[in-house]
Amino acid sequence: MLKLTPQLKRQLDKKSSVEQLLTLNQHKIRLGLNRVNKVIKKLKINQKPEIKYLTVNGTSAKNSIIQIFKSILIQHKQRYAATYSPHIFSVVERFEHNKKFIKLALLKKILLEVHKQKNLTHFEKLTIAFGLFIKNLKLDWVLGEYGLFGRKDCLRALFPKPNLHIITPISFDHLNWTKTKKMDLKTLKEIVYEKTSFLRSKLYISKQTPLVLSLIKKNIKKNKNPKIIYGEDFRLIKKNRKYFYRDKIHKFQIKSNLLGDHMYENATVAIRIALDLKIPLKTIEIGLKKIEILGRMQLIKRGKLRKGFSQKTILICDGAHNLNQSEQINKAISEKFKAKNKYCVISMINTKDPHSFLKPFKNKFKKIYFVNMEREKNVFPKEKLKYIADSLNINSCTANNLDDIKKDLNNSSCDLFLITGSLYFIGSILKKN
């Protein structure tokens, strides 16, 4: 990719950490496409006609749907590269090529090239770096997950004309970036506009609330490409605790290790795309059985995290961080597991809305613990989260860490324990496993 010159070697020695490379010439977060467009043109990063491009944005389920579709592509023996946001363990997870993450040394070399460009934000640097990473790869597919909103997100500049685009469930999130910063209709309209008004590709629209779907349809009227909509063109059917995909032509059972109705709803989007691409049904079915999604309704069955819990305790990690997601995981847990004594630990970054996130937890858990995240600076202090929980009449307390929580639960019967609130938090927890 990039030639490792003596000068580059010296720079690598001086700047050994990716975080240091990302902060070189860094601009504060400011949405817009002008800066990135100039760099893309300068570095000659272009979409290639022989490659299919799939981009995804929305509020929830972006990564889950990509992972499900990717599993089908792998089974179909397709060459792919994908970029995700955020990562769980390491920044290298943001760049994937044929089931392997980018090597750290290669990422550093690419970022040294990118840092020469002035006034790019952290996310813009990573996006440009992904463009350089895939520039000379032989691929069938490129998959891209948007970061913030969409209309002014730099991924739009990198892939301005994707073949396919998925709109995942849209709800309230990133309120600090909206005009009113309130959970009202005006803000919802603004969020939906920012995520959908610019789209001109063939669209696959995930399950939405009736209000959000009506707003999406209003915003995509100028898009003359096909629009395939959950509930109108395909859907999930649940019968006797079994899940079925259905459209006007197909109906078959979805067999997978996914947990929760919402995860199977996500699967239907990937299935419909695969069917439209004429991928054999047998290939799709095998791909669905091989899905692995870290930090999304992930059951922890072994490892160091289980130490201190009973063998019968159900241990779940989920990176939920907004109202829609907390509603979904609570619904999934109550339907899937007959657990009487449930406990939970939560930590959140301070760009989220903890009040709305915590509401669905009321009367669902015997006690909720709040801790401070180890790896993140921009977090809500555990005392602040407890204060909000108290205002919602949620039984809660603070703790220093997960080990202290286990000691506190030592004499209690714990049927189920949930770890949630942030993917960053989940990453710091799973590292210990």
Say if 1 falls within a structural domain: no
pLDDT of residue 19: 58
Q: Is the peptide bond before 86 cis (omega within 30 degrees of 0)?
A: yes
pLDDT tens per residue, range 26-55? 444 566 788 899 999 999 999 999 999 999
Q: Are 281 and 333 in the same domain?
A: no
Q: Is the domain of 304 the same as that of 284? A: no
Name the strands in the sheet holding 396-398, side by side, starting at the edge strand that comes first in the sequence: 298-299, 314-317, 416-420, 342-346, 367-370, 396-398
Instruction: Establish if 106 belongs to a structural domain.
Output: yes
pLDDT tens-digit series, residues 222-258:
999 999 999 999 999 999 989 999 999 999 999 998 9
CATH number for 378? 3.90.190.20
Domain-located, residue 13? no
**72 and 123 belong to one structural domain:** yes
Task: Indicate whether 202 and 336 sit together in one domain.
Answer: no
Sign of the CA dihedral 169, 174, 177, 180? positive
- Is 245 in the same domain as 389? no
Same structural domain, 283 and 315: no
Is 405 inside a domain boundary? yes
Identify the helix (H) or strand (E) that includes residue 57.
strand 52-57
Q: Is residue 232 part of a domain?
A: yes
The answer on 339 and 280 residing in a single domain is no
Question: What's the pLDDT score for residue 15?
Answer: 44
Number of domains forming the structure of the chain: 2
- Structure token pair of residue 406: 């286990």
Q: Are residues 37 and 61 in the same domain?
A: yes
Which range marks the domain in which residue 102 is found? Answer: 18-289
Q: Which of 265, 289, 313 is the last residue of a domain?
A: 289
pLDDT of res. 34? 86
Q: Does residue 2 form part of some domain?
A: no
| Co-location of 225 and 343 in the same domain | no
Same domain, 122 and 271: yes
State pLDDT tens for residues 341-377: 999 999 998 888 899 999 999 999 999 999 998 766 7
d(CA 351, CA 425): 14
Which value, in Å, is the radius of gyration of the alpha carbons in the chain?
22
Which residue among 260, 289, 318 closes a domain? 289
For the chain, 433 residues long, the average pLDDT of each consecutive 10-residue run is: 48 51 50 86 94 95 94 98 88 93 91 84 91 96 89 92 96 72 83 93 97 97 96 96 96 93 95 98 97 89 90 92 90 88 93 91 94 82 95 95 90 90 89 83
Q: Is residue 67 located within the same domain as residue 212?
A: yes
Distance CA(185)–CA(302), nearest Å, equals 44
Reported in sequence order, the residue ranges of 151-220 that DSSP labels E, i.e. its strands, are 164-167, 202-205
Residue 373 lies in a domain: yes
One domain, residues 171 and 212: yes
**What are the φ and ψ backbone dihedral angles of 33, each rounded to 5 degrees?**
-110, -15
> What CATH number does residue 171 fall under?
3.40.1190.10
Where does a domain end: 233, 261, 289?
289
Please give the structure tokens belonging to residue 21.
């490379």
